[in-house]
Structure 1
Amino acid sequence: MDNVNTILTPGMRVRHPDQPDWGTGQVQSNIGGKITANFPEVGKVVIDGTRIALLPVFDDG
């Protein structure tokens, strides 16, 4: 199975599958499987993309 994290680019909006209370975050960088995203409720978070598959958000309404 392909890892959806490989398509994430800066500016894309995402949700963390295990932390819905974090809200919708914005990808800051995706380098070597480490994804940095800024979430409204927790701030900047670095995610290990080999362990967590973030969920792209295409419509937040």
Structure 2
Amino acid sequence: MFDKPGNALLSPGDFVRHGDRPDWGLGQIQSIAGHRITVNFENAGKVVIDGNVIELQPADLPRP
């Protein structure tokens, strides 16, 4: 369980943004192991986020 409740709604494959690092751009969740969330960001590459410290924001993507 996460200390940041929004992270519990995320799954691998979801697109997210890091609220404190907008310069990282859009990220896609690669894996979730315990409270560690691995995200591949378009401008920062693969980053492991502590889901108990940072709450990722689901990305609003336009529907095709």
Query: Is 1:59 paired with 2:58?
Result: no
- Aligned-residue Cα RMSD (Å) equals 1.8
Unaligned runs of 5+ in 2: none
Rounded Cα–Cα distance in structure 2 between residues aligned with 1:2 and 1:36: 16
> Any conservation in 1 of the 2:4–2:51 contact (CA below 8 Å)?
no
Structure 1 consecutive aligned stretches of length 4 or more whose deviation exceeds 6 Å: none
Count of residues in Structure 1 that have an aligned counterpart in Structure 2: 61
Unaligned runs of 5+ in 1: none
Q: Go from structure 1 to structure 2 and tell me whether the alpha carbon gap of 1:24 and 1:9 turns closer, same or farther (over 3 Å shift).
A: same
Q: Go from structure 1 to structure 2 and tell me whether the alpha carbon gap of 1:2 and 1:53 turns closer, same or farther (over 3 Å shift).
A: closer
Aligned-partner SS, 1:50? coil
> Any conservation in 1 of the 2:38–2:46 contact (CA below 8 Å)?
yes
Shift of 1:58: 3.3
Q: Which residue of 1 aligns with 2:6?
A: 4
Aligned-partner SS, 1:58? coil
TM-score, length basis structure 2: 0.85
